[in-house]
Amino acid sequence: MASTGADYEEALAQAQELGFAEADPTEDVGGGDAAAKMALLAQLAFGGWVSLEDVVYEGIEKLTTEDIAYAKEFGLALKLLGTAERVGDAISVRVHPAFLYAGHPLASVNGSFNAVTIESQAITEMTLSGPGAGGPQTASAILGDVVSLMEGAPAIRPPAANAKLTEEVESAFYLHLEVADRPGVLAQVAKLLGEHGVSVKSVAQSGLGDNARLVMVTHPILEASFNSACEQLAGLEFIRSAPRAIRVIDEQFIG
């Protein structure tokens, strides 16, 4: 979608034709496949048990070429991002679409390639990338797992509890609003966002009449505060449809 301008259905059909998506793409586009992979990666990284039920995830079904085009104006690239982190004695894992700035090491990973960025106090940051879809790649990964099992992989101990952190997470956001084209709309939106502690970093306006659009990128904010602001925005009489929001990952961190 980002590279060719194809809509969601066209891009999905092409991915299936190339063997990058299953004939039944539900798990691919709904985030379930990435969530299962993140659960496994979290186990390997932190040595604790993580089930699929512990992962908070969402897919790419609602993404539009319009959002991708606006994001490019802000220097953003769209990715389906999985994040795992240790929170005290628990492990928090989540998967969701996100926009990344061009300087982020994952922003340039495209096509069938996958990448993993590892952050720690000792190494600061390290990124590994390579082919992540297709017959030979999948077969190689399966054989690697079989060999590990035959060699006797160490047991993974379950933690006392895993953390489903969603609204406690801080993130910047891309916000897309379809609005009535009249004076004062931007000021009212900015005022409401400010009341919830949401600070706007960049803004763009386009269209006329019923096709007017107000698009902005915020500074990082607690998801609980941002979600509350969006709920109130949806109730304003000049908002034509439900606000669309996508997380934006700052170029200095993943969170």
- Integer angstrom CA distances of residue 13 from 64, 67, 109: 16, 20, 20
Sign of the Cα torsion 181, 189, 247, 29 reads negative
* Number of residues that this document lists for the chain: 255
Residues labelled catalytic: 37
Cβ neighbours, 10 Å, residue 33: 20
Say which residues have a Cβ less than 8 Å from residue 1's Cβ, sequence separation at least 6: 7, 8, 11, 63, 65, 68, 78
Q: Of 163, 171, 237, nearest to 198 (Cα)?
A: 171
